[in-house]
Amino acid sequence: MNRWWLLPGFALLFAVHLAVPLAPLDALDPETARLILVELRLPRTLLAIGYGLSLGMAGAALQAIFANPLASPDITGAASGGALGAVTVAYVFGLSGAVAMAAGGAVGAGLALALLFVVAGRNAPPARLLLGGLAIALAAGSATALLLALAPSPFAFYEMWRWLMGSLADRSLPQAAAALVPALSACALLWRGRKAYDLIALGDDVSASLGIDPRRLATRAMVLAAIATGACVALCGAIGFVGLVAPIAARALVRGHPGRAILPAGVLGALLLMGADLLVRFAPAGREIPVGVVTSLIGTPLFILVLLRARGMAGGLR
Amino acid sequence: MSATFADLAVSGRLTTTSLSLDPGAFVALIGPNGSGKTSLLRAMAGVDGTASARTIAGNALEAMGTAARANTIGLLPASRMLAWPIPVRDLLALAPVAPENDQIGQLVERLELASLLDRPASHLSTGERARVLLARVLANEPDLLLLDEPLANLDPYWALTILDLLAEEARGGRMVLAAMHDLALVDRFQRVVLMHEGRLVADGPPSRILGCEAFRTAFRLQPHEGGWQPA
Q: Give the pLDDT means over successive 10-residue stretches in chain B (231 positions).
A: 94 95 97 96 96 95 96 95 94 95 96 97 95 97 97 94 97 97 93 96 95 94 86 83
ipTM for the complex shown: 0.95
CA–CA min distance A50, chain B (Å): 27
pLDDT given for residue A312 in this prediction: 46
Rounded Cα distance, A317 and A302, in Å: 13
Of residues A205 and A3, more confidence is placed in: A205
Task: Report the 3 state secondary structure along chain B.
Answer: CCEEEEEEEECCCEEEEEEEECCCCEEEEECCCCCCHHHHHHHHCCCCCECCEEEECCEEHHHCCHHHHHCCEEEECCCCCCCCCCEHHHHHCCCCCCCCHHHHHHHHHHCCCHHHCCCEHHHCCHHHHHHHHHHHHHHCCCCEEEEECCCCCCCHHHHHHHHHHHHHHHHCCCEEEEECCCHHHHHHCCEEEEEECCEEEEEECHHHHCCCHHHHHHHCEEEECCEEEEC
Question: What digits encode the pLDDT tens for the residues A22-35?
Answer: 777 677 788 888 88
pLDDT given for residue B215 in this prediction: 95
For A227-246, letters b (16+ CB in 10 Å) and e give: bbbbbbbbbbbbbbbbbbbb
Residue type, B121: A
Alpha carbon B63 to its chain's center: 23
Q: B113, B151 in Cβ contact below 8 A?
A: no
Residues of B in contact with A315 (CB under 8 A): 83, 85, 122-123
CA–CA min distance B44, chain A (Å): 9
Residue A157 pLDDT exceeds 90: no
* Pairing status of strand B191-196 against strand B26-30: parallel
Fold of A6-317: ABC transporter involved in vitamin B12 uptake, BtuC (1.10.3470)
List the one residue out of B163, B106, B156 whose CA is nearest residue B127: B156
Confidence (pTM): 0.91
Q: pLDDT band at A310, cuts 50/70/90?
A: low
Residue A124 pLDDT exceeds 90: no
Residues of A in contact with B77 (CB under 8 A): 203, 205-206
Of residues B11 and A169, more confidence is placed in: B11
Alpha carbon A32 to its chain's center: 33
Average pLDDT in chain A: 87
CB contacts under 8 A, A 4-63 vs B, are: none
Q: Which of A36-45, A147-156, B176-185 has the lowest mean pLDDT?
A: A147-156
CA–CA min distance B117, chain A (Å): 12
CA–CA min distance B26, chain A (Å): 21
Q: A267, A49 in Cβ contact below 8 A?
A: no
* Chain A, chain B: beta-carbon pairs less than 8 Å apart: 76
Rounded Cα distance, B111 and B134, in Å: 9
Q: pLDDT band at A315, cuts 50/70/90?
A: very low
CB contact under 8 A, A203 and B69: no
Q: Give me the percent of chain A exceeding a pLDDT of 70.
A: 94
- Domain segments of chain A: what residues? 6-317
Residues of B in contact with A68 (CB under 8 A): 83
Mutation target for B interface from A63, A209, A262, A317: give the one with most B CBs within 10 A.
A209
Q: pLDDT band at A98, cuts 50/70/90?
A: confident
Rounded Cα distance, B84 and B216, in Å: 43
Closest CB to B84 among A209, A210, A258: A258
The CA–CA distances, whole Å, from A187 to A2, A73, B155 equal 22, 14, 46
Backbone φ, ψ for residue A179 (5° rounding)? -85, -40
Name the burial class of residue A116, with classes exposed (0-12), middle (13-18) and buried (19+) by CB atoms within 10 angstroms of its CB: buried
Name the burial class of residue A313, with classes exposed (0-12), middle (13-18) and buried (19+) by CB atoms within 10 angstroms of its CB: exposed
Interval A156-167 mean pLDDT? 76
Q: A258, A197 in Cβ contact below 8 A?
A: yes
Would an 8 Å CB–CB cutoff place B157 in contact with chain A?
no
pLDDT given for residue B54 in this prediction: 97
CA–CA min distance A312, chain B (Å): 13
Question: What digits encode the pLDDT tens for the residues A210-233?
Answer: 999 988 898 899 889 999 999 999
CB contact under 8 A, B96 and A255: no
DSSP state letter for A284? P
Rounded Cα distance, A95 and B139, in Å: 57
Q: Which of A123-127, A233-237, A280-284, B209-213 has the lowest mean pLDDT?
A: A123-127
Residue A313 pLDDT exceeds 70: no
